[in-house]
């Protein structure tokens, strides 16, 4: 959303109070590709690099304290996040959202920030995702709206910026569909063939109304909208996640939730499967509240073509905790794998299960568990079994996200 620390996530900051200053940078790694873990209490941030198996290689690759020693133009804030897709260039890319509005590119071998690009263009653009198409072209989705657009180039908001990461520079923008004057709120980006698919979350300027989400495809050769597909009846949808074969797209929608994370209407949440072999994709099946038993968080992971790993969306101070579960797309079977603990009063802690990432080459999936302060690892081969978790030293910040580079 447009807040640096959403109310439903405030509980995560409690486990990081009175932490020690972030440790001195641990440097780069001797690897061209691997995993990135982001730890944060929404005030400070720490970036660690891991092997594809999840072993820690550099526990404090970059952090909020990096600027004084590296000469960064923009210090990292507590609202820094990772792109949903690894950068083909092999750089570590960081998105600094509300309040900073900056994209940063870092060399994983040297731990040096190569360059930074401000993408605010005169307003709080709140960048949400970054999709690299080539060394000289990438898209950035901007969730924020500008009520005073027209004072400088590319300042309308609610759009995709076209940027050149090598310069870096903004080279263009792509306007997105608006229905009934509801801002598009573009979020997650996915490359599928010759198109980039962006999810429009469609939330009103006053945040009181969440409209039906949409998928919009951008022809990456022309930077024009190729098609638009409403996700019928569903709200608060996350990135369109492709299966291993790229023949399916799976989207998880949390529905309209309030600031505590409470679901307003069970009919607005589901996991939806699309046939990606046709354009626009055709819905095959959806698994709603009646199957899952809860609202779902919008971030999911796919193992192969048939198995989804996902997390429930539960309210801060409610009577339930986050659950990690698997969903078999063929049988519809739901298996609860892990459940987060309640607080001392027996109430839910809100979003304690964060980033979820499955390797495309290994049958290992990782979950950022702020409840335990660790990255939990699961071996997925037929059944799902947990292997040794990983903790990351430094300032004692909780892990929130996992990505790749």
Pick the closest to residue 355 from 402, 315, 309, 391 (CA basis).
402
The mean per-residue pLDDT over the stretch 130-139 comes to 98
Would you say 258 and 209 are in contact if contact means Cβ atoms under 8 Å apart?
A: no
Rg of the chain on CA atoms, in Å: 20
The mean per-residue pLDDT over the stretch 302-315 comes to 95
Would you say 121 and 163 are in contact if contact means Cβ atoms under 8 Å apart?
A: no
**Residue 12: predicted pLDDT:** 38
**Residue 25: predicted pLDDT:** 84
Pull the structure tokens for residue 265: 């209407």
Looking at 19-23, 161-165, 337-341, which range is the least confident one? 19-23
Looking at 72-76, 159-163, 306-310, which range is the least confident one? 72-76
Looking at 64-68, 131-135, 382-386, which range is the least confident one? 64-68
Overall pTM surpassing 0.85 (yes/no): yes
Pick the closest to residue 196 from 355, 85, 88 (CA basis).
85
Q: How confident is the model at residue 112 (pLDDT cuts 50, 70, 90)?
A: very high
- Cα–Cα dist 163/64, whole Å: 25
Pick the closest to residue 300 from 139, 183, 399, 190 (CA basis).
190
Pull the structure tokens for residue 163: 């940027």
**Residue 24: predicted pLDDT:** 66
The mean per-residue pLDDT over the stretch 176-204 comes to 96
Looking at 18-22, 51-55, 385-389, 397-401, which range is the least confident one? 18-22
Domains and CATH numbers, the chain: 7-404 (2.130.10.10)
345 contacts: CB under 8 Å, gap ≥ 6: none
Of all residues in the chain, the percent with pLDDT exceeding 70 is: 93
Mean of per-residue pLDDT scores for the chain: 91
Q: How confident is the model at residue 11 (pLDDT cuts 50, 70, 90)?
A: very low
Looking at 9-23, 134-148, 337-351, which range is the least confident one? 9-23
Pull the structure tokens for residue 169: 């520079």
Beta strands in 214-363 (DSSP E): 214-219, 224-230, 241-242, 248-253, 270-275, 282-288, 295-296, 301-303, 307-313, 323-328, 334-339, 353-358
Would you say 97 and 82 are in contact if contact means Cβ atoms under 8 Å apart?
A: no
**Residue 22: predicted pLDDT:** 53
Q: How confident is the model at residue 16 (pLDDT cuts 50, 70, 90)?
A: very low
Of 1 and 86, the structure prediction assigns the larger pLDDT to 86
**Residue 74: predicted pLDDT:** 85
**Residue 294: predicted pLDDT:** 95
- Cα–Cα dist 175/395, whole Å: 41
The residues that bridge with 282 in the sheet, in sequence order, are 275
Angstrom distances, CA of residue 1 to CA of 160, 199, 268, 375:
17, 14, 18, 25
Residue bearing tokens 């409840």: 371
The mean per-residue pLDDT over the stretch 193-208 comes to 95
**Residue 395: predicted pLDDT:** 77
- Cα–Cα dist 250/240, whole Å: 6
151 contacts: CB under 8 Å, gap ≥ 6: 122
31 contacts: CB under 8 Å, gap ≥ 6: 49, 51, 57, 108, 109
Pull the structure tokens for residue 27: 């440097």
- Cα–Cα dist 211/234, whole Å: 8
The mean per-residue pLDDT over the stretch 347-361 comes to 92
């Amino acid at each position: 959303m447009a807040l640096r620390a959403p109310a439903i996530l405030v509980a995560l900051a409690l486990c990081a109070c009175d932490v020690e200053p972030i440790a001195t940078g641990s440097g780069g790694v001797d690897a061209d590709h691997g995993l990135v873990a982001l730890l944060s209490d929404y005030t400070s941030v720490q970036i660690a690099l891991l092997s594809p198996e999840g072993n820690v290689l550099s526990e404090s690759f970059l952090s909020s304290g990096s600027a004084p020693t590296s000469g960064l133009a923009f210090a990292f804030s507590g609202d820094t996040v990772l792109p949903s897709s690894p950068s083909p260039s092999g750089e570590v890319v960081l998105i600094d959202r509300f309040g900073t509005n900056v994209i940063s590119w870092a060399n994983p071998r040297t731990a040096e920030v190569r360059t930074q690009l401000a993408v605010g263009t005169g307003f709080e653009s709140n960048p949400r995702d970054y999709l690299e198409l080539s060394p000289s072209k990438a898209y950035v989705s901007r969730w924020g709206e500008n009520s005073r657009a027209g004072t400088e180039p590319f300042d309308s908001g609610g759009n995709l910026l076209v940027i050149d990461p090598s310069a870096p520079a903004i080279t263009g923008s792509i306007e997105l569909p608006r229905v009934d004057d509801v801002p598009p709120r573009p979020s997650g980006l996915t490359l599928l063939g010759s198109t980039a698919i962006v999810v429009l979350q469609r939330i009103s300027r006053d945040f009181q109304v969440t409209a039906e989400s949409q998928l919009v495809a951008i022809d990456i050769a022309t930077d024009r909208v190729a098609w638009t597909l409403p996700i019928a009846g569903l709200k608060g949808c996350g990135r369109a996640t492709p299966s291993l074969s790229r023949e399916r797209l799976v989207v998880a929608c949390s529905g309209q939730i309030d600031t505590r994370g409470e679901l307003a209407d069970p009919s607005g949440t589901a996991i939806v499967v699309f046939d990606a072999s046709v354009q626009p994709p055709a819905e095959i099946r959806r698994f709603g509240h009646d199957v899952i038993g809860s609202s779902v968080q919008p971030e999911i992971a796919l193992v192969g073509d048939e198995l989804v790993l996902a997390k429930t969306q539960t309210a801060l101070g409610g009577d339930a905790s986050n659950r990690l579960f698997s969903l078999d797309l063929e049988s519809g079977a739901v298996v609860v794998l892990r459940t987060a603990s309640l607080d001392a009063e027996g109430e839910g802690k809100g979003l304690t299960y964060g980033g979820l990432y499955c390797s495309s080459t290994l049958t290992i999936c990782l979950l950022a568990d702020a409840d335990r302060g660790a990255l939990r690892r699961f071996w997925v081969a037929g059944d799902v079994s947990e292997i040794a978790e990983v903790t990351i030293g430094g300032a004692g910040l909780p892990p929130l996200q996992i990505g790749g580079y």
